[in-house]
Amino acid sequence: MKTTTIAPIGTHPLDEYLRTDRLPHIWCPGCGLGIILGTLLRAIKKSRLDIDKTTMVSGIGCTGRAAGYVKLDSFHVTHGRALPFATGLKLANPNLKVVAFSGDGDLAAIGGNHLIHTARRNVDMTVICVNNFIYGMTGGQLGPTTPEMGRTTTSRKGNTEKPFNIPYLVGAAGASYIARWTTAHVRQMERAFIEALQKKGFSLVEIISPCPTYYGRMNEQAAGLDQMRYYRYNSVVKHYANLAELDISLNGQIIVGKFIDVDKPYFPAPKGENGK
């Protein structure tokens, strides 16, 4: 029996959730975005969500392109504004399952104010934060999560700024669920996505992802495989770790796991709680 087949397009188990007429996607060979998107679609499938009511909002950047590849009601909005747009969407129709899919710059630089306020309000949505430590789409500039000494096109001698620790930031602001995994942790990522999708409140999953073309190439990890190996062998699972200790240094250890999972009042409050 032939056990390897060259399969036609349309037969992949995730094809029903993808705009297959737009594949292969624009992401580089070795980019982790396809892994994250595929894992999210698997999580959506496993969660048995109503696909018609599941919407995705993304911002600008390589990560922002994700919304264009999924066969959901999806919105590719302005830089940094995925979260407030998603807030409006959720408030208009609380029956929608809203997923925001954004990068480190989109969420924590230009979108930083919206990140902390959306977390503060504990808006009921799932946020996938793809952290590749760089601004990929514009050609490799530093971002708010670039590790100190990391080389980018705007920090050729090494980044001198301290980066954000996103779980710490979002935890302090008020999120209900925070987890971090890397693209090498595909099964754990999927479980985290399922939990985040089912969680009521602001649920953020940060995924460390390779950008071989820019971050990798400028920091001695030119192949996606180099970064994947680094994640695989330098990550430490520490569930419920102290958020303050989750900083990532250049080539240092990456602490992954589920850090926050609490039940608390979320926004918008379900009807019935205020007499309506």
Partner 1 sequence: MSSEGQISGEFFLSGDEACAEGALAAGCRFFAGYPITPATEIAERMSDRLPEVGGTYIQMEDELASMAAVLGASWGGLKAMTATSGPGFSLMMENIGLGLMLETPCVVVDMQRAGPSTGLPTMTGQGDMMQARWGSHGPYGIIALSPASPQELFDLTIKAFNLSEKYRLPVLVMSEESIGHMYEKVTIPVREKIKITPRRKPNVPPQEYLPYVPDDDLVPSMAIAGEGYRFHVTGLTHDEHGYPTMTAEAQDKLVRRLVDKIEKNRKAIIEVEEDGIKDADVVVCSYGISARVATVAIQRARAMGIQVGMLRLITVWPFPIERVREIAKNIKAFVVPEINYGQMALEVERAAAGMAKTILVPHMGGAVHDPETILDAIKQATK
Partner 2 sequence: MTTRAKQSQIHIIDERCKGCAFCVEFCPQHILYQANEANAKGYQVVRVTEPEKCTGCGMCSRVCPEFAIYVETPNGKQ
Q: Which tokens in the block code for residue 235? A: 């990550």
Query: What does 156-221 look like in DSSP terms, one character per residue?
Result: TT---SPPP-HHHHHHHHT-SEEEEEETT-HHHHHHHHHHHHHSSSEEEEEEE---IIIIIHHTT-
Quick one: 122 or 183, whose CB is closer to partner 2?
A: 183
- DSSP assigned state of 112: H
CB of 50 to partner 1, least distance (A): 9
62 is in the binding site of which of partner 1, partner 2, none (Cβ under 5 to 8 A by kind)? none
Please list every residue from 169 through 198 that binds partner 2, using CB under 8 A: 183-184, 186-187, 190
93 is in the binding site of which of partner 1, partner 2, none (Cβ under 5 to 8 A by kind)? partner 1
Q: Which of 165, 148, 154, 234 is nearest to 204 (CA)?
A: 165
Interaction between residue 42 and partner 2 (CB under 8 A):
yes
Interaction between residue 34 and partner 2 (CB under 8 A):
yes
Show the beta-strand stretches assigned E in 31-80: 54-58, 73-76
How many positions of this chain bind partner 2 (CB under 8 A)?
A: 40
Cβ neighbours of residue 107 closer than 8 Å, sequence gap 6 or more: 59, 80, 82, 83, 115, 127, 129, 166
Quick one: 76 or 238, whose CB is closer to partner 1?
A: 76
- CA 94/CA 200 separation, integer angstroms: 12
Quick one: 38 or 167, whose CB is closer to partner 2?
A: 38
Q: Which tokens in the block code for residue 219? A: 């920091």
Q: Which stretch, 87-95, 133-141, 148-156, 167-175, contacts partner 1 (CB under 8 A)?
A: 87-95
Interaction between residue 19 and partner 1 (CB under 8 A):
yes
Q: Which tokens in the block code for residue 97? A: 């399952």
Instruction: List the one residue from 42, 90, 180, 199 that touches partner 1 (CB under 8 A).
Output: 90
- DSSP assigned state of 146: P
217 is in the binding site of which of partner 2, partner 1, none (Cβ under 5 to 8 A by kind)? none
Q: Using CB under 8 A as the criterion, which residues of the chain lie in contact with partner 1 when the complex forms?
A: 19, 22, 51-53, 55, 57, 67-68, 70-78, 80-81, 83-93, 95-96, 113-114, 117, 268
